[in-house]
Chains A and B, each alone.
Chain A
Amino acid sequence: MIETIGRKTIEGIENLGRFSRFVARTFGAMAQCLFKPRTYPLIWAQMYTIGVQSVPVVMATGAFVGMILAIQTYGQLASMGLEERLGVLINIAVVKELGPVLAAVMLAGRVGGALTAELGTMNVTEQIAAVQSMGTNPIRYLVAPRVLACLLLTPLLIIYADLLGILGGYLISVWQLKINAGAYWNYSAIGVERWDVCTGILKGFFFGGAIALISCYKGFTCREGAQGVGEACTEAFVGCFISILALNYIFAVVLDAVYKSFWPIRPLL
């Protein structure tokens, strides 16, 4: 029992160390990529796969979040006569928490799974070793463009999710639940601050980075065979999901502290 706990702890620390080295090498490779225009086509290609092709699913996620929030919260607010404030509730939830988190979870499933499966298959079929054997750094060629694409485009995808979330909430609230459109937007404008929108988008950089790094690492270190690739995909998704939630918690604490410390000088800013 104690032996098992000890072994698992050592394995966990070793794994963390390997992941940290992988992250450090990836950041080094990303810096090289940014200064080498020759690598830009690789980044554009990944941006298309990771970003452009994810737009429909992320928009659908955002729209449903807004619509569901409207339906679920209307009854509660209406019973207190506050249904006109539905907009502020939906929009703040969408731009601050649900839009970024659910868009990131959707990306973890769509992009993270694909990255792990692709790199994992390349690993077990020795394609990564082939890249290395030809004198090319596989992290620079395979990982850095993917991480850069994910890092840069996740915030943009979150904007899409937010927009569709706001629109979905508006459509249900105003068209189906017959809330006054002017009141809906007025209360939203008062309640939702620029700070909320910006922090929601800022989270995207970190969520995107976490998704790409974890997924690529799992692909690079996956065990041989179809089962190995399958396990790596599962571990990557679980790892991404937990990281998104953990990062979101850290953001909630840190940003709240930052907001409170700037509150007294807010009018000056």
Chain B
Amino acid sequence: MPRKIVKPEDGILVAQNITKQFGERVVLENISIAIEKAKTTVIIGPSGCGKTVFMKHLIVLERPTEGSVYFKGERIDDKEEHRLAKIRTQFGFCFQMGALFDSLTVYENITFPVEQHYKIKDYKALADTVKQKLAMVGMDGFQNYYPASLSGGQKKRVSLARAIALNPEIILYDEPTTGLDPITSDVINELIIKLQKELAATSVVVTHDMKSAYKIADRIIMFHKGRIIADGDADHIRNHPHDVVQQFIHGKVSEAELAALRLGGTKFETQFLPEDFE
């Protein structure tokens, strides 16, 4: 795929020629993406292709080995941590496993970012705001629960409520439907659409759930081995000529991988039997 040239003013959030290396391993190679305002951009790709690492670059939880990240035209990847604090309040990050603070209740989890950045005088108003945020994700009434007593789907919903606590302009979702049953996954998809509409927020979603991607995306970008191999709307991706894209969206194993599996032998040939070790 020919590399696009992106400029800092091309989107609300712009990654320009991002390369990330962990030691000798190159995780991202020259990635350039301009995220459009008030749109939902979905990044898909197989596990280990660098999607999550890329998303962490957008909020500077990771810093690029090469390249730069711009937010509203201002470079942010070279800023010091204390300067990033203010910028990060305009982001909401929904982590893959929720990352709720397990020593705090649901209520305290949601008030955490608010209390960190504002001096609270009216606690009644704060409680009302929490109630409203939880109601948006269908979790009102769970204020006094601890994360350990919530199910996977409930944790993700609370995580969503926490991500929107500061009314962010950009919401980043890291695999929001992974590990959830199909119905709960769909509830999360509907929530993402609802939040995008109601808050007019820009959303970036990392997922490998194609059903979810088709449902929520304005634009889908596919990563493969740290590079972008497809970029366009849902129809563009559906009809993409690249074999890897087709295999991924249809969930089909490649011939090479099948051959490798066959080389591994049959179940009976490789089965471990106790008498072999006695």
Do B85 and A130 touch across chains, with their CB atoms under 8 A apart?
no
**Cβ of A125 under 8 Å from chain B:** yes
| Chain A interface main SS type | helix
Do A130 and B101 touch across chains, with their CB atoms under 8 A apart?
yes
Q: How far is the CB of B54 from chain A (nearest CB, A)?
A: 15
**Cβ of B59 under 8 Å from chain A:** yes
Closest to B88 in A: A135
Chain A 239-251, CB-CB to B under 8 Å as 1, else 0, gives 0000000000000
Q: How far is the CB of B147 from chain A (nearest CB, A)?
A: 10
- Knowing A127-B102, A129-B61 touch, does A137 contact B82 (C-beta < 8 A)? yes
Q: CB-CB < 8 A to B102: which residues of A? A: 125, 127
**Cβ of A11 under 8 Å from chain B:** no
Q: CB-CB < 8 A to A136: which residues of B? A: 85, 112-113, 116
Separation of A137 and B112 alpha carbons in the complex (Å): 13
Separation of A54 and B64 alpha carbons in the complex (Å): 44
- Cβ contact of A125, chosen from B59, B82, B88, B97, cutoff 8 A: B97
**Cβ of B117 under 8 Å from chain A:** yes
Do B95 and A126 touch across chains, with their CB atoms under 8 A apart?
yes
Q: How far is the CB of B128 from chain A (nearest CB, A)?
A: 21
Q: CB-CB < 8 A to A130: which residues of B? A: 93, 95, 99-101
Chain A 126-142, CB-CB to B under 8 Å as 1, else 0, gives 11011011111100010
Q: Can you give 20 contacting A-B residue pairs, CB < 8 Å?
A: A125-B97, A126-B95, A126-B97, A126-B99, A127-B101, A129-B56, A129-B95, A130-B99, A132-B61, A133-B59, A133-B88, A133-B95, A134-B89, A134-B166, A135-B84, A135-B85, A135-B88, A135-B89, A135-B117, A136-B116
Q: What 5 additional pairs, Cβ within 8 angstroms, besides A122-B101, A126-B99, A137-B82?
A: A129-B56, A130-B101, A132-B61, A136-B85, A141-B116
